[in-house]
Structure 1
Amino acid sequence: MPTHDQVLNFGAGPAKIPIEVLQTAQSELLNYDNTGMSVMELSHRGKTFGKILADAKQNLTKLLNIPDNYEILFMQGGGTTQFSAVVYNLLAAKGKADAPVDYCVTGSWSQKASEEAKRLGANVNIVFNTKKSTGAYTSVPPQSEWKLSGSDAAFVYYCDNETVHGVEFNSIPEVDSSVPLVADMSSNILSRPIDVSKFGVIYAGAQKNIGPSGVTIVIIRKDLLTPLKSAAEIATPGLVTPQLLDFKTLADNDSLYNTPPTFAIYMSGLVFKHMLEKGGVEAYTEANDRKARKLYQVLDNSKIYKAPVATDVRSRMNVPFRIYPEALEAEFLKGAEARNMVQLKGHRSVGGIRASIYNAMGEDGVDALVAYMKEFEGQHQA
């Protein structure tokens, strides 16, 4: 349960950070490692910050068992900037500006990613769009129905967990082995083990399941790091990658080509260390599964709550639901806030309720929400 004046924060992002991590940052804020300076004041070129960066990379490598042939980058601009960076870098790696780029559209974030690729002039192939085929972002079709481009594609993109709509893939998509698989894991990275070797690029905005906003983790296979070329060297301008979006530039400079988001990297590193001390990703996987089961059990057994997402692709991180009649939703949210449960309102594009139960949300917090949901339903049953 919350300590002192803390609340139960079910926000989708920026999201809850472990209290132990916040307390460590608080104790070190004015004088980090006897430097007489805050982390926010340290030079990003100095040895002290260099160790912070190295430790963060090492601990993330341990958590995800990242193979040696991958590079970890710390970039700015959130996951949204990666919509562009992926297109630029992987078309350059393919060496063909008109190569098809495959997008699996399961929610608003994958839709926005595909739209950005189109805006940049890429040859976008929509593998499937569940809203167009079924009327809603609530499912993932079987792979037998996917329209992949095969070996011609520069990459295949999907969003592993749609934060807004609560759709999460239950397995890694199977694509042509010669085509890089790209995954946006902003809202479920570190929530369960993943086989990094199956991916060309994994990226994740930190502000949901890692740390504060301001830094994006990019894990990229080293053979996809392509040297920058000038416009004069390329017949098609679409292959010219902006310097700060170039993965190789960031890799060659250990994410220090320009001043990185030093405090966000420091905080992310504290979270990585904390997770290892708590048993690593495997321990969090078990807790996340239990939390999600408890919430969905209430929803499935209810006469007033409804979870819209197909059971086989329900997110363990973001649980959206509606209350019927819908006029009760405002009353539910007001009652939740009175009980120190905040940020449960659904995304403005879909409405309803959404409980985000990332790694940092303890099982006791979910138990408190479940108890309130049962109490509320008992008061409003016909």
Structure 2
Amino acid sequence: MSSGAEPSPTATSYCRFIARRGSPPLDGAASLGVTGVEVDLGSGQRRHIWTYGALRSEEPIRPNAIDVLLTSKDEPGASLFVQGARFAADLRERAPQLSARAAWLREKRMWFVLLAILAALFFLGYMSGFSPAKSIAKALPDSWRERLGKTTRESMTEGHKECIDPAGLAALKRLTDRLSQGAPANVPFNVHVYDWSLMNAFAVPGGQIVLTKGLLDKSQSPDETAGVLAHEMGHGIEMHPEAAIIRGIGLGATLEVMLGGTTGGGLANVGLMLAQLGYSRDAEREADKHALELLKAAGISPKGLGNFFTRVVKMEADEGDKSPGAFSWFRTHPPAAERARLVGAQHDYPASPALDAGDWQSLKSICNKTRAADEAT
């Protein structure tokens, strides 16, 4: 046979044909004809021919396949089961779209199309000032954001014990609840304190916030701590942590998550990654704006936050190029002097201390009792 000749028919193989769902199966013989699979169901039954290009297989036909289950656009609703390794191998050659490789290429093609669509959305969003990462973050299920937040928090605070003194936890809850009055109802906050000398606070996904003992020790009033906590709540309201991690993980991993996959061990160092990424200056200013709104709604003066920023300016000047610890998250924020001026420009309104003297002392003593990450709750 010349290379341009049509393939000749093959020997028949046992088959079982079902005309439509609920119809009784009919036994017959299937062969590979010139244009398609030919099905002979015996005398009194019409002969069926399913063209090769219209065939679909329930499972890709692999090299070691011993049978196939076919459907066809030529006869919607019908199905054909054929036994025989030789039949399967020959069919894979004549209808290459049924092979495992073709199925793999179709799947990859879908990923490429989705990547291209998302890349175009990212580009259009960038040109218009729209944030695709934040939009994706808002589309994530709450359960996934909570799991991501827990993983991030544990990664970030590795080696430091959580502070769980009951009186301190009660005071912290009262402060958190008071500040949450001005937050959207669908953004719950869960605040944790860690026995960590670093003076800072940071938000992680799922409305979770970490305060450090160093921050509480260096805060001179409950209003200062309330101001910093309100700022981190602002990040949570805007979903800045989720958006930053999505940008850091990359488009492909984001697709995997959105399509129901998992990032597995890739989240092991997500806390470190978030700390290194930081936020844009615009994101920090958004969080400051929310902080001032939350403080006003809670009836807490913003002056404590302003005093805190003023002292940070002095500490930064005294510190010079020396940076305590592995990170200095405050260095990713807008200049403390700028933020102090913003707070100072706010109009006065009726306010009371964020916590009374007893609760403030309880909060500052919250690390009198601690729990390691691997201890039972």
TM-score tier (shorter): under 0.3
Return the structure number with greater helix share: 2
TM-score (norm 2): 0.23
Q: Which has the higher contact order (CA 8 A, sep 6+)?
A: 1
**Greater C-alpha Rg:** 2
TM-score (norm 1): 0.23
